[in-house]
Chains A and B, each alone.
Chain A
Amino acid sequence: MTPSTLRTGLPARFERPPVSRAVLLVAAMAFLAWAFAGSGLDAGKLARGIPAVGSILDRMIPPSLERLDSILLSLLVTFQMAVAGCVLGLVLSLPLAVLAADGLSPHPLVRVAARGLIALFRTVPDLVWALLFVIAVGLGPAAGVLAIMVDTIGFAARFFAEAMEETDKGPREALTALGARRLGLIASAVVPDAMPAFVATSLFCLEKATRASVVLGLVGAGGIGVELKVAFDLFDYDTASTIILVVFALVVLVEQAGAFLRRRLI
């Protein structure tokens, strides 16, 4: 068919933007300007700040190895905190995820409540949990473990629930049809099916917990963060750089180990 025989005519390549879109654009610009105005960032501060960062970096090099053994020791505590909090969180995530999963939850109200709890755990930042637990159980790693546990639940329970919802409905139905109880159905059909997703989520949680455990010390919840804060407070920048380097090494190590395990287990 030749173009001239088209009866409907060609549509324009670009539609003329409606007025509402122009208004939206102006509003978005104004919003951005407002956000920057509130941040107190200006050219003068940037001009003064960048050289200052440079001089701090200068004082950080070379890293001081003077307190290396005590730093490594508190790094170990940090990692223990991460592992303990993460495992506790993962263990508690599973039943909570079952209660929150569509089709597995015993009642819609239970499901809503479980989802709400998970959302609360997730939306409140880990540092805020750490502050709360420092008040509740006092300064030290125990508060950190509890904060990481809650943070892990907020993350893992949601993904566990989604993974279980996505499992094949067939085996579930077959077990229902043979008269199995809910728990049997979950344990023998849903959990095995969701296992790869559980493993992936768990390893990711461990990585996340390791990163989180480092900063929790800043609010007194134990671990190497305490050391970091003290080093900065005392202008002991070469010790701080050592701490940053060993933290970097730990996080990279955990991430690599996680990637390796993921490949092996899934």
Chain B
Amino acid sequence: MNDVERTAVTTATWPAVGAEPAPALQVEALVKSFPGGRRVIDGLDLTVAAGEAVALIGANGTGKSTLLRMAVRLVEPDSGAIRLFGEDVCAARGRTLSRLRSRVGFVFQKHNLVTRLSALSNVVHGVQARRSGPRTWHQAWARRVDREEAMACLEAVGLADRAMQTVGSLSGGQSQRVAIARMLMQRPELVLADEPDASLDPRAGEEIMGLLARLARDKGLGLVFVSHHMEHAVGFSDRVVGLAGGRVALDRPAAGTDPALLEAFFDGPQATERVVPLRRVAMGAAS
């Protein structure tokens, strides 16, 4: 499988023309509790259509990160079903799991880059989604095509001039751009971003969110991002989903939603129902 490269990001593995593409992410009756803790996720259902941009909001500790991490099995769910592109994530192991993971780009709040290596090396690492071996470990001995693609990814995030700088010497905003470039290098079909705008100043945070949303839209990728900025949640998504009590407690189109109104969601479920009409998620519903 290693040498079989997916050529086009958007068309790969999609069913034949005419058929409805499988939802990018499909979660059913998901349950997760940590040892000694309450149920963080408690019977959650959520469907994200291919190419859809969904903002995930919710108070601290409502399990947003846990949900995203379970989607690629960085955390094991207790029960329930998770499907990526129609394939069962929970049943996958070994190479099947690696291959499923490789189709999902994950952007972390803390960037999770190798700080002692250059930006370019970090982006080159993204190629490990398709291929393994020593030539994917460092830019210095990477294949020419990979170096070229990595530079193109850095150009896409506006950091081509910093390619050889070590990530540890970059600013927070720049280093999150490198993380996005690595994610692009991966050629994903779905992007999961856990507070990509956190720990950045308001300006840089908005730029990063804008960049991520634009890249996802241009390449037709699905996007699920967590944000505590309601303007970002509304401004960069098609749909806003709010978690409370381990379930989806709010689900509405972003268009026409007032960010100030969403703030009320954090005052508790009662307040939410008063201010924002609830809508249950229909399976496979795209916005």
Contact = CB atoms under 8 A, between A and B. Distances in A.
B134 A187 contact: yes
A180 B185 CA distance: 13
Interface stretch (B100-108, B156-164, B196-204): B100-108
Contact of A174 (B103, B112, B137): B112
Interface of A: 168, 170-171, 173-181, 183-184, 187-189, 192-193, 195
The residue in B106, B114, B115, B126 that gathers the most chain A C-beta atoms within 10 A of its C-beta is: B114
Nearest to B183: A178
A38 B81 CA distance: 70
B133 to A, nearest CB: 8
B99 interface: yes
Contacts of A187: 134, 137
B125 A175 contact: yes
Contacts of A178: 101-102, 105-106, 125-126, 128-129, 182-183, 186
A184 B136 contact: yes
B112 A193 contact: no
Interface residues of B, number: 36
B104 A188 contact: no
Interface in B96-138: 97-106, 108, 110-117, 121, 125-126, 128-129, 132-134, 136-138
Contact of B114 (A179, A181, A192): A192
Contact of A184 (B105, B121, B132, B183): B132
B74 interface: yes
B129 A180 contact: yes
Nearest to B103: A179
A188 B74 contact: no
B137 A179 contact: no
A181 B108 contact: no
B224 interface: no
B102 A181 contact: no
Contact of B101 (A170, A171, A177): A177
B72 interface: yes
A173 B112 CA distance: 8
Contact of A179 (B108, B110, B117, B128): B128
Q: Would you list the 10 A-B pairs with minimal beta carbon distance, nearest first?
A: A179-B102, A170-B112, A174-B112, A180-B128, A179-B101, A177-B106, A179-B98, A188-B137, A187-B137, A171-B114
A179 B106 contact: no
25 contacts: A168-B115, A170-B111, A174-B179, A177-B72, A177-B101, A177-B104, A178-B101, A178-B105, A178-B106, A178-B125, A178-B128, A178-B129, A178-B186, A179-B99, A179-B100, A179-B102, A179-B103, A180-B129, A181-B98, A181-B128, A184-B132, A192-B114, A193-B115, A193-B116, A195-B116
Contacts of A184: 125, 128, 132-133, 136-137
A183 B106 CA distance: 20
A193 B114 CA distance: 7
A254 B38 CA distance: 58
A189 B136 CA distance: 12
A176 B116 contact: no
Contacts of B137: 184, 187-188
A176 B115 CA distance: 17
B76 to A, nearest CB: 13
Contacts of A183: 132
Interface string B241-274: 0000000000000000000000000000000000
A174 B128 contact: no
A179 B129 CA distance: 5
Contacts of B112: 168, 170-171, 173-174
Given A180-B128, A180-B132, A187-B137, A174 B102 contact: no
Given A187-B134, A188-B136, A180 B125 contact: yes
A170 B114 CA distance: 8
B128 A176 contact: no
Given A181-B128, A184-B128, A174 B98 contact: no
Contacts of A181: 98, 128, 132
B74 A176 contact: yes
